[in-house]
Structure 1
Amino acid sequence: MAKSPHGVDVTPDGKYYLSSGKLSPTVTVYDWEKTFKAVENNDFQGKVRGLPVIKYESVRHKEVEVGLGPLHTQFDGRGNAYTTLFIDSAITKFNIKTGKVIDKIPVQYSPGHAAAAEGDSVSPDGNYLVSLNKLSKDSYLSVGPSHPESLQLIDISKEKMQMLYSAPADPEPHYAQMIKADKIKPIEIYPKETSRPNSVWKKENAHIERKGNEVHVYGIAVRSRFVFDAKSKTPDVVRVKQGDKVIFHITNIDLDEDITHGLGISLYNQNMEIQPGETNTLEFVADKSGVFPLACTNFCSALHQEMTGYLLVSPK
């Protein structure tokens, strides 16, 4: 194959696999069927480190001159391949079957990977590709020695590629996947499950239990208050003894999207996040005596900063 091969990618139909020659201006398209036949027929040219090497000419389908520094290839589902060119700072489009180069588009700069919409699957979407560029050469405002690099969105739905958008990114964007939005079906909030272990859904049910040297707090988080014990007043207080194992079971009873709460005890270096409708547990050993403020650590409302409480640890 070409010198210093880099990316190896399989076509959506599974008939071919492509290898880029990092130190050669070519991408080789190999035929899987020819490969299997070559193995069956022992069509080898020798061995390297004890492994048989198939004859290049026996399995090659096409050798395509794409440009300097080819690295990785994506596909559009219409029989075309898109290879990043690190040295040319471009992406080349070519037909897999014929080996004909169709188009070439410059990017800013030095792309490594690219991500086509579902371009790693058996049924690529075929309309968009993002070039993940390793260098920007100050395409954007400099913000220090570590300069912004870039992602560039390219329309590949037509014969000629069209640059649509360029955005700054953290250094060396390396690999990505792009899928159709209608395939992402996340839950918006955790479902309200009153039978969930350790969950509390009403203020009047919040309580604290001691079990030997363990203190379990069954509480709620709601804009903009923690309730650890229905009997306590604001701000809520949890009282334990030095050496106790403290276990907070907190349910976020806010059932609106985006209303995430956090429970942080900074002087104990403890923090957890509680999503809408979720019950989460935080546990640690109270090995230091004193008064320790606790607070919500995710912005949740205009009164977020008032969502506080105290952990009181009495000395041995």
Structure 2
Amino acid sequence: SWPFWLAFAPPCFLSALFLDSQIVKWNVEAAIKAFKGDKNAKAVVDRIDVQYQPGHGFTSMGETKEADGRFFLSDNKFSKDRFLPVGPLHPETAQLIDISGDKMKLVHDHSVLSEPHDSIIVRRDIIKTRQIYNLDEFPNAVKDPKDSGVFRNGKKVTVKLISQAPAFSLREFKLKK
């Protein structure tokens, strides 16, 4: 099975094998030696089965300069039968795997929204949160429903509206060519 997704966890990287429903942990140096023809190099450190086809995968701190090699999150596809159907989009599966030792271990299995495509695992001390979004930071923000409308400038048409689920400030509008 072709590696579908790669994630870095020094001194290894992990790949999701979509058809095999596995995560494979590779030693980078050994993989380079094996590629150069060293028959004694053992590139594969470990494999672990996941439920079911793993799509995207992410290591803890793997999207920073401080990748720590502790955890891998496998966002899995085609796993709609593992959880109760709760609406038109059936939940799929994400599995948290401890990759810190030679043998990988599944430590948590949970449902996620359909077609999971992105996850990130970071320490909470590097997250800079804001409680309130400042609309002034977005120059095209529409702050009042009265400012909604269709505006034409030559051939360019701009539609400004606001939404507050489940309604929009302009219920419909029509444009000519």
Fold match by TM threshold 0.5: yes
Q: Corresponding residue for 1:166? A: 109
1:147 is paired with a residue whose SS is coil
CA distance in 1, matches of 2:115, 2:106: 20
Q: Rate the CA distance shift 1:135–1:284 in 2: closer, same or farther, 3 A.
A: same
- Higher strand fraction: Structure 1 or Structure 2? 1
- Give the Å deviation of 1:182: 0.6
Q: Which residues in structure 2 correspond to 1:301-312 (within 5 Å)?
A: none
Number of matched residues?
Answer: 134
CA deviation digits over 1:49-101, x for unaligned, max 9? xxxxxxxxxxxxxxxxxxx1311111112x10100010011100010110210
CA distance in 2, matches of 1:148, 1:186: 28
Pairwise CA RMSD = 2.9
Q: Corresponding residue for 1:8? A: none
Larger CA Rg, structure 1 vs 2? 1
Letter of the structure 1 residue corresponding to residue 14 of structure 2: Y
1:175 is paired with a residue whose SS is coil
CA deviation digits over 1:256-300, x for unaligned, max 9? xxxxxxxxxxxxxxxx9xxxxxxx9425169xxxxxxxxxx89xx
- Give the Å deviation of 1:185: 2.5
1:142 is paired with a residue whose SS is coil
Q: Corresponding residue for 2:44? A: 101
- Give the Å deviation of 1:145: 5.9
CA distance in 1, matches of 2:143, 2:80: 47
**Alignment partner of 1:282 out of 118, 140, 144:** 144
Q: Corresponding residue for 2:40? A: none
CA distance in 2, matches of 1:142, 1:189: 34
CA distance in 1, matches of 2:127, 2:64: 16
Residue identity over aligned pairs, in percent, reads 38
Q: Corresponding residue for 1:139? A: 82
Q: Corresponding residue for 1:72? A: 5
CA distance in 1, matches of 2:58, 2:122: 10
CA distance in 2, matches of 1:137, 1:283: 40
- When the two structures are superposed, what TM-score results if normalisation uses the length of structure 2? 0.65
Greater RCO, 1 or 2 (C-alpha within 8 Å, sep 6+): 2
CA distance in 2, matches of 1:285, 1:172: 36
Letter of the structure 1 residue corresponding to residue 104 of structure 2: M
Q: Corresponding residue for 2:175? A: none
CA deviation digits over 1:90-119, x for unaligned, max 9? 100010110210110111111111011121
- Give the Å deviation of 1:153: 0.8
- When the two structures are superposed, what TM-score results if normalisation uses the length of structure 1? 0.38
Indicate whether 1:81 and 2:18 are aligned: no
